[in-house]
Amino acid sequence: MQPGDDLLSAAARAGIRVPAACRNGVCEICEARLLAGDVVNTRNQQTIPVNGRVMLCRSQALGDLELEMTAVMAAGKIEARKFQANVVDVRSISHDVYRVELQLPRRRELTFHAGQYLSVNLPDADPCYFSIASSPSAQNIELHIQASPEWVSAQKVIDALVPGSSVTLELPHGKACLAATPERPLLLVAAGTGFAQMKSLVDYLRETGFDQPVTLFWGVRRQQDMYLRSLAQQWESDWAPFTFVPVVGDSEDNDWAGHHDQLVRAVLASGVEWGNVEVHASGSPAMVYTLMDALVEEGMPESAFFSDVLEYAPRA
């Protein structure tokens, strides 16, 4: 908990998602019961008695607490809703990747977990799905969209996202996320713009003070495809638990399937204790299943492997 945090903000930093709406103690959606400890109501500065009702958004802790909450939301339990977002910025950050910044006028109404994704819903077009690259506490939503004339649907989205305009989003989606801080070391594996999901996870983990080892493998075909390499290097420089392992094919002739094998080989050679790690992977179904099968064979429990691919492209 940071100094001055209300309990609702502190819970969010710890990965505990509680339904909330007004954030001024009126709607009573974020209610909890105080079982032990000292809490002050920030509206009237009165101490709340044990067994008293606590509105998390209007309460601060004076020490360690024990609370009872009946509406904590786990991964996949937050209902997806449609929101109108303002387009703040769209900028090219590589030869084919754009960083998009979106603002929700009523941001407090949105709750999501680190690592979830959203859809951009354009008129007369199928929804386009993109990982959220920002943490749940960020004021604006960040996306990394790979677009070119060959990527017709993504290019259509980029063409439509004009700064100053608005767009319809639906979120959150996805169960391969962090509803709370993990208890084991983390291995993050991204191919291409799968880095966006990993950025959301890393931002969240840094905010919560996570101190277990975190290793990110980022695989791309060519050096120029690693569009935010400097950011990953900065994480490694200023966050002690974090290790960054870039995996670059560096060959125009290296087909993507072959490069996926190279990424998996790099992960397997890392010397990780596979029985005591949580793995999050973002990439194509071929890469994700190749990686999962290889790690399970090495001793990783299948229950410790998380990817949205397992949900939207399940194997028969």
pLDDT above 80: residue 256: no
- Which pair of tokens denotes residue 304? 């410790």
140 — pLDDT class (breaks 50, 70, 90): very high
Of 10-14, 46-50, 56-60, 175-179, give the lowest mean pLDDT range.
Answer: 10-14
pLDDT above 60: residue 257: no
Question: What is the structure's pLDDT at 30?
Answer: 81
Closest CA to 282 of 304, 314, 301, 305: 305
Question: What is the structure's pLDDT at 267?
Answer: 96
Give me the mean pLDDT over the 209-238 stretch. Answer: 95
Determine the distance from the C-alpha atom of residue 181 to the mean position of all C-alpha atoms in its chain, rounded to a whole number: 12
Q: What is the CA radius of gyration of the chain?
A: 21
pLDDT above 60: residue 254: no
Question: What is the structure's pLDDT at 21?
Answer: 58
Give me the mean pLDDT over the 228-243 stretch. Answer: 98
What tens digit of pLDDT does each residue of 146-189 get? Answer: 998 888 999 999 999 999 999 999 999 999 999 888 889 999 99
Q: Could you tell me which residues come within 8 angstroms of residue 82 by beta carbon, excluding any fewer than 6 positions away?
A: 121, 168, 169, 170
- Which pair of tokens denotes residue 202? 């890393």
pLDDT above 70: residue 258: no
What tens digit of pLDDT does each residue of 264-316 get? Answer: 999 999 989 999 999 999 999 999 999 999 999 999 999 999 999 999 999 97
What tens digit of pLDDT does each residue of 98-121 get? Answer: 999 999 998 878 889 999 999 999
CA atoms of 48 and 131, how far apart (whole Å): 41
Q: Is residue 72 within 8 Å of 16, Cβ to Cβ?
A: yes
Q: Give the residue, 144 or 62, on which the prediction is more confident.
A: 144
Q: Count Cβ atoms within 10 A of the Cβ of residue 87 and give its class: 0-12 exposed, 13-18 middle, 19 or more buried.
A: middle
* For the ranges 2-16, 175-189, 224-238, the one whose mean pLDDT is highest: 224-238
User: How high is the mean pLDDT of the chain?
Assistant: 89
In 3-state terms, what secondary structure has residue 177? Answer: coil
Stated as kind and residue range, the H or E segment containing 68 is strand 66-68
φ, ψ of residue 61 in degrees (nearest 5): -85, 145
CA atoms of 87 and 39, how far apart (whole Å): 40
